[in-house]
Homo-oligomer: A and B are copies of this chain.
Amino acid sequence: MTHSSDEPRGELELVQRLRERLRPPPRVAGPAAPAVAFGDDMASVSARHPGLLWTVDMLMDGVDFVSREHGWEAVGRKAMAVNLSDCAAMGVQPVAALCAVAIDERLSLRDAETLVVAAHEMGLRYGCPIVGGDTNSWKSPTVVSISIAAETPAGQRPVGRGGAQAGDRIWVSGPLGGSILGRHLRFEPLVELGLTLAREIVPHAMIDISDGLALDLWRVLDASGVGACLDAGALETAIHEDARRLEQRDGRPALEHALHDGEDFELVVAVRADTDAGLLRSLGLIPIGEIVAEGGLQLRGTDGRTSPVPIRGWEHFR
């Protein structure tokens, strides 16, 4: 692939350019506009339905799943779960989904049915049935795209990415890294936890880790106009045993897996410094650092010295 000088490079730059070119029209940007910025985990449907959000995720065979290994039930389950995780990240209640598929024509229609029904059943467990869709077949690997709609609970606001403030504490909902060993297929989306956090804690910012802690936290920093300093000692307690197992295999430090592996689907929140730490701990959250005024994403080592964390993780078009 060749690049001309003004061609976007990588998914982050493409999304940035689209954000600029897809300006919301005045009626959406007006005073009735809801508190969700373009490019967040979910978007507002319409100013007439301010509490209603929606989002879409597309999964491709050979990229997000390997159908021969994982089977169609796991694929359908994951296709729904990644969307439910976006709802968790906004602190909203999923209510309905649409499912579009392009099925490799070499597959049986039973496989297509298994995929869609598995997605539907996963959704139903969280109050989110599939209510419509589009079924197609073609000569290429299978693609599944699920759109999901969610309601903001009465009296609450969706929790976006853009509200983190210097001095906030950063917490993560569970240990990270090594999800490729299987958790990326089996994870339970943290819908209930997201709703609880939005109601009880009212975080300044929240995101789910789909592309890795470093990259997803960077998205929060970028949207909020702040920096962050993670604490290596604290992060040690937030390393998943899968990350340590992966270190045994590939020699890459478990801490790096925790920072950069994608598809943990844990929640990262930025909360006021005076938030009840006991309550956060009782919800299973682990403190990992703090929001600072600037300086990007830094890691403070156990020796007290800070160093920049490279912003990498899963990014398309790289």
Contact = CB atoms under 8 A, between A and B. Distances in A.
Contacts of A57: 100, 134
A305 interface: no
A113 B145 contact: no
B1 A105 contact: yes
A281 interface: no
B151 A48 contact: yes
Given A18-B113, A21-B120, A98 B43 contact: yes
B134 A58 contact: yes
A66 B317 CA distance: 21
Interface residues of A, number: 78
Contact of A129 (B25, B102, B120): B25
Interface of A: 1-4, 7-11, 13-15, 17-18, 21-22, 24-25, 28, 38-40, 42-46, 48-49, 52, 54-58, 60, 62-63, 95-96, 98-103, 105-110, 112-113, 116-117, 120, 124, 129-141, 143, 145, 147, 149, 151, 316-317
Given A22-B116, A63-B138, 13 more contacts: A9-B109, A18-B117, A24-B131, A40-B132, A45-B96, A52-B52, A54-B98, A54-B149, A60-B136, A60-B143, A103-B317, A140-B140, A147-B147
